[in-house]
Chains A and B, each alone.
Chain A
Amino acid sequence: MNDSVNQPKFDPVTATPFLTSRGHPGWLGMRYADHGEDWVELELPWREDLLGEEGQQVLASGPILSLMDMASGIAIWKAMDRFEPIATLDLRVDYVRPARAGAAVFGRSQCYRITRSAAFVRGLAHDGDADDPVAHIQGVFMKISANVKREVPRG
């Protein structure tokens, strides 16, 4: 997958479809929307079966948390410019207003600081206008490479 001369850069445009093709992100139907140097935006298309309350056309909060977790992970890989295993340590979501019925929700996360062992993110979710967010998030992720062996199954 990596060409020799140009070291493999992490490209959210090509990596996101792969990362969201299956598992939880695939089940939610997340897809790439936009990115910058240290931020990534993903789209969560509207789905009738993800409501937070019976009979109310309001998206549940769980999918927004998932969207922001995923956007944050990809933003961190973009900021590091490579893929390496990371795990969410702490994630806070403030739901400032309900998302509009029938609207896709966009999750934009920025990795504003990376240390040897941790990556720090902040971001927002919106339903079309980033100046009128539905949620704000803040989180910390840990790198889980090399020196951490406790979770590695045998083999």
Chain B
Amino acid sequence: MAEAKDHPDIELLTPYARSLGIKLSEWEDDAPVMTVEFVEAVEGRPEHFHGGATGGLLETAGYAALRTELARIGRDAVLKPINITVQYLAAGKSQASFAKGRITKLGRRSANLTVEAWQDDRSRPIATAVMNVLMAEPEG
């Protein structure tokens, strides 16, 4: 990618996220914006995103933001989910969705993140999430 020299060369996607078709859309203020096209794998009721797929995109954007920051400060950690609370604000329609995470607090053992997802109108988010992630010592 053209911007690779400006941004950490890290894997932003889990195998699950890659399977679902989530991709990096762009970098914005040093945080990755993740996106997923509207394909059958994300569809719930006809022509709408499934709440689970929207949640998966939010979670993926949260992890991507955290991995980016950990790479930037040269910290190695195994990330494990503690919890996530998703607020669904509007139906996800049959078009691409985007999500970006922001680190609210980076502690020694856990991080707190807020994530927002939107479609064509950024000022009208379709979902937000708060998540806590455990940062474990890498084993061996």
Interface residues of chain A, those whose CB is within 8 Å of chain B, are 22-28, 49-54, 56, 59-63, 65-67, 69-70, 85, 87-95, 98, 151, 153
- Using a CB-CB cutoff of 8 Å, which residues 2-50 of chain B contact chain A? 11, 14-20, 40-45, 47, 50
- Secondary structure call for the B interface: mixed
Q: Are A62 and B17 interface neighbours, CB within 8 A?
A: yes
In the complex, how many residue pairs between chain A and chain B have their CB atoms under 8 Å apart? Answer: 119
Least CB distance, A81 to chain B, in whole angstroms: 20
Top 3 A-B pairs, shortest CB-CB distance: A66-B52, A60-B16, A62-B56
Q: How many residues of B contact A (CB 8 A)?
A: 37
Q: Are B14 and A93 interface neighbours, CB within 8 A?
A: no
Give the CA-CA distance A28 to B40 in the complex, in Å: 11
- With A52-B16, A89-B87, A90-B86 as known contacts, state yes or no: A69 contacts B81, CB within 8 Å: no
Least CB distance, B56 to chain A, in whole angstroms: 3
Q: Are A60 and B42 interface neighbours, CB within 8 A?
A: no
- With A24-B44, A69-B55 as known contacts, state yes or no: A63 contacts B88, CB within 8 Å: no
Q: Are B14 and A52 interface neighbours, CB within 8 A?
A: yes
Q: Are B82 and A95 interface neighbours, CB within 8 A?
A: yes
Least CB distance, A60 to chain B, in whole angstroms: 3
Whether B106 is near chain A, meaning CB under 8 Å from some CB there, is: no
What chain B residues lie within 8 Å of A94 (beta carbons)? 82-83
- With A23-B43, A95-B83, A98-B80 as known contacts, state yes or no: A62 contacts B15, CB within 8 Å: no
Least CB distance, A16 to chain B, in whole angstroms: 15
Give the CA-CA distance A28 to B20 in the complex, in Å: 9
Give the CA-CA distance A66 to B79 in the complex, in Å: 20
Whether B53 is near chain A, meaning CB under 8 Å from some CB there, is: yes
Q: Are A66 and B43 interface neighbours, CB within 8 A?
A: no
